[in-house]
Amino acid sequence: MTISSEHADSVNTGGLRNWLLAPEPRGWFQSSAQQTHQGWRKFSLHPLGLAGLAIIVVLIVVALAAPLLTSYDPIVQDMAGRLAPPSASHWLGTDNFGRDVFSRVIYGARTTLYIIMLVTVIVAPLGLLIGTVSGYFGGIVDEVLMRVTDIFLSFPGLVLALGFAAALGPGITNAIIAISLTAWPPIARLARAETLSLRKADYIAAVRLQGATSIAIITRHILPMCIPSVIVRVTLNMAGIIITAAGLGFLGLGAQPPWPEWGSMAASGREFMLDSPWVIAAPGIAIALVSLAFNLVGDALRDVLDPRGSE
């Protein structure tokens, strides 16, 4: 007896659904898949979060496929076609050096993603480690680490980043270091608060009685419990990271010309904003749209990953 392909697909789909909804998972892989499925179902209930996620996915695709989306080099100048208005050949017009604005916005997305990824890789583990160590050990360790954190938090993030960037010198690498130095304290504070509520839990006391070391307790039992909150915090911080990076670029302390970066593009276009508004409008809209997208995704993730947020 033969089974049609449509029937087989429905059987496979039903089997996968039953596997994801099984009341008793068999193994860690099925358990992880079920948690991911449940998280996605909760996330999909937030239409604004889905819209923000769609914008981020488009940003990633555009950054990866930049050479396929435009035939113009974002660096090559054409003074004969400077400040040309939007047209069929230049969708967003050209800047004061005759470079295609659409091409520079697309390639600028690569710079933005590069900054976001490196800053996240630096600040998330650093803030998580400092916060958990401070909250678990307490005493003098907590005092020293939190006073250092308070020093960083006492200054506005953008002002502090400007100070570090000015001291380190212009350049995208120094800008990433400057942003990272100002972005970790809120994460450390959050991780410390989570650790303070976890270190007196019964299961931590049981593990400690079994002879587990402090390092083992922190890495195996406390850090994993803090990660969801840190993910939400980092996602919500993305907008601030993007705006700070754009601010450094706007002041000439970020990515250096002629490499396209949204902040430096806005800085070069401010002189022509009345006669040629597209030069500054395109990167400005890109900064606002991507920042809004990360905020929307962060709000949705807060409801998905933080059970207290849905109460």
Q: Which of 104, 108, 121, 157 is nearest to 255 (CA)?
A: 108
At residue 50, the pLDDT reads 94
Could you give the CA distance from residue 234 to residue 149 in angstroms, rounded to a whole number?
17
Could you give the CA distance from residue 259 to residue 276 in angstroms, rounded to a whole number?
21
Mean pLDDT computed over 194-203: 88
Q: pTM for this one?
A: 0.84
Q: What is the Cα Rg of the chain in Å?
A: 24
At residue 311, the pLDDT reads 43
DSSP-based three-state secondary structure for 261: coil
Question: Are 80 and 124 in contact, with CB atoms under 8 Å apart?
Answer: no
Is the pLDDT at 21 greater than 80? The verdict is no
- Structure tokens belonging to residue 300: 């949705």
Confidence label for 306 from pLDDT (cuts 50, 70 and 90): low
DSSP-based three-state secondary structure for 1: coil
Mean pLDDT computed over 167-178: 92
- Structure tokens belonging to residue 293: 């997208």
Is the pLDDT at 3 greater than 80? The verdict is no
Question: Are 105 and 262 in contact, with CB atoms under 8 Å apart?
Answer: yes
Could you give the CA distance from residue 278 to residue 83 in angstroms, rounded to a whole number?
9
Q: pLDDT by residue (tens digit) across 239-297? A: 889 999 999 999 888 888 888 999 999 998 888 888 899 999 999 999 999 999 999 99
In the block, residue with structure tokens 């130095």: 181
Mean pLDDT computed over 38-45: 85
